[in-house]
Amino acid sequence: MVGVLAAMEGAMAISVIGTLGYTLVPSAAVVLALCVGLMMRPVGSMIHSIQACAAGVLLSGIAVEFLPQLHFARYSVSLSLFFFLGLVLMLALNRLNPGCCRSQVKSPPLLPFVAGFSIEFLVNGMVIALSVLAGHFAVLLAAVSLAVCCFVCGLSVTTRFITVKLSFNRTVFGVMLMALAFPVGGLLGLVFVAHLPAIWVEDAIAFGMAVMLYIATVDLLMEAFRTSRNLPKIMFFIGFILILLMKAKVVGH
């Protein structure tokens, strides 16, 4: 119960504006991807290295920020249930929008394609808001790592819009409108957190952890390691140890 109360106090310490500000980090990544996609097409090895680094950051963040918040020995049934609910959500989204973080994937028709990415962005914004329950550092980790993943998503969306020969203005407007799904999702997540009973805090953390674990392993890591090159493997470990070093420095101060 002490851990739950500490999590609630930590969530209250992070302002609404501050949390919504974090949701703008992946929004900015999508807009950056729009600019890059309009000018050039990044090569596969670069994308794979970015994906691997983001996966390392996410998995390290889960290990140091989310897992210590959960007491599976005490609440094994409820935490497992919400953990698998997070998995079910991501599996459902994957059916709607397969390979959302992949640089190359056979795309569905345009409307389901856009809807799938928009819902994915909305859920990511909600996950960032839920991360406030695990602390300030957890929100930062979630925002940065999901931003890297969504940069690849933004490239996919921009490339698809160009492929179907949308005009420059429509491409820019469409991608920027989709990028607004992050703060909208963050706002919905904050409303949920504000009305969340203290007894469900750990369940919400378990749910968010499952979503990020799926993104790190299925969406990022499996795609990054499709190549035989060693650079993505090295970048994964760099991303992982980077978070451990950052956490050590924060705790040290």
Q: What is the pLDDT of residue 106?
A: 56
Note the pLDDT of residue 102: 57
φ, ψ of residue 56 to 5 degrees: the values are: -60, -40
Dihedral angle sign, alpha carbons of residues 116, 118, 122, 125: positive
Q: Identify the pLDDT of residue 253.
A: 54
Closest CA to 184 of 93, 100, 123: 123
Is 186 among the domain residues?
yes
> Which stretches of the chain score pLDDT less than 50?
1-13
pLDDT at 8: 46
253 part of a folded domain: no
Instruction: Find the domain containing 26 and state its range.
Output: 2-247
What distances in angstroms separate CA 166 from CA 29, 171, 178, one per listed residue? Answer: 21, 6, 15
Instruction: Work out how many domains the chain is built from and give that number.
Output: 1
Amino acid identity at 92: A
How confident is the model at residue 6, as a pLDDT?
Answer: 47
Q: What angle do CA 185, 186, 189 make, to 5 degrees?
A: 85
Whether 95 is covered by a domain: the verdict is yes
Q: What are phi and psi of 207, to 5 degrees?
A: -60, -50
DSSP 8-state code for residue 68:
G
107: Cα within 13 Å, side-chain hemisphere: 22
* 76 within domain boundaries: yes
Residue 71 domain flag: yes
Domain for residue 252, yes or no? no
